[in-house]
Amino acid sequence: MLKQIEKLLDKISFYGAYVGVIALVLMCLIMGYEMIARKFFDRPTGFADEVAAYFLVVLFFLGVGFTFKQGGHISVKVLINRLSSPVRRKLEIFTDMVSLVFLIVITREGFLLFRESYKYDSKSMSILETPLYLPQIFVVVGLFLFLALFIFNIINLLKKKTNGSHPFPAG
């Protein structure tokens, strides 16, 4: 059962990254359009920065899980690599548990922000008046996916399914 859930999370994180790449392309296109409109026609859109920022939110939060799965997050291994394997494993479990608590708090707060924005129909203070819950839903979904993947990372680490360097080897 856990293996099936983990495979589903893998697929979701892959598709999240795929949507993130689409958001990156759209962000580049809209900013390119904004630059051309401003430079050559002296007609800035007035909304390109806001929309590009929303695409950046999508890119980051839907890509964070996939990046984690690929071992792409920054870590400092200078000290850790000098430790014996049992000490390194204990340190990784400890730091993962501390990180898990932090991630739970951040995910909860992101959800509460989304819920409040939805409840009060908060809108951006721009000409678009975008309902703020729309970009915030990507924050919540991305953080929840990251949290789920992180929990599986800890489970795998506790089961000794990892080599101590990264729980999800690429490939």
Return the pLDDT at 171. 39
> 29 lies in a domain?
yes
Q: Are 117 and 131 contacting, i.e. CB atoms less than 8 angstroms apart?
A: yes
> 168 lies in a domain?
no
| Confidence (pTM) | 0.82
Provide the residue type at 42 as one letter: D
Report whether pLDDT(163) > 70: no
> 166 lies in a domain?
no
Q: Are 107 and 144 contacting, i.e. CB atoms less than 8 angstroms apart?
A: yes
Both ends of the chain: CA-CA distance in Å? 23
Instruction: Indicate the Cα dihedral angle 97, 99, 104, 107, nearest 10°.
Output: -160
Identify the residue with better confidence: 171 or 109.
109
What are the angstrom distances between the C-alpha of 86 and each of 92, 151, 163?
10, 21, 11
What are the angstrom distances between the C-alpha of 104 and each of 112, 129, 149, 160?
12, 30, 12, 23
> 169 lies in a domain?
no
Report pLDDT digits (tens) over 3-58.
Answer: 899 899 989 999 999 999 999 999 999 999 999 999 999 898 889 999 999 999 99
Report whether pLDDT(169) > 50: no
pLDDT band at 161 (very low <50, low <70, confident <90, very high): low
Return the pLDDT at 1. 78
Report whether pLDDT(136) > 90: yes
> 74 lies in a domain?
yes
Provide the residue type at 43 as one letter: R
> 164 lies in a domain?
no
Report pLDDT digits (tens) over 108-119.
Answer: 999 999 999 999
* Angle between the N-to-C axes of helices 133-158 and 2-41, in degrees from 0 to 180, rounded to the nearest 10: 140
Distance CA 145, CA 74 (A): 19
Report pLDDT digits (tens) over 80-114.
Answer: 788 888 888 888 889 889 999 999 999 999 999 99
Domain encompassing residue 111: 2-158
Based on the structure, what is the number of domains in the chain? 1
Burial class (CB in 10 A: 0-12, 13-18, 19+), 40: exposed
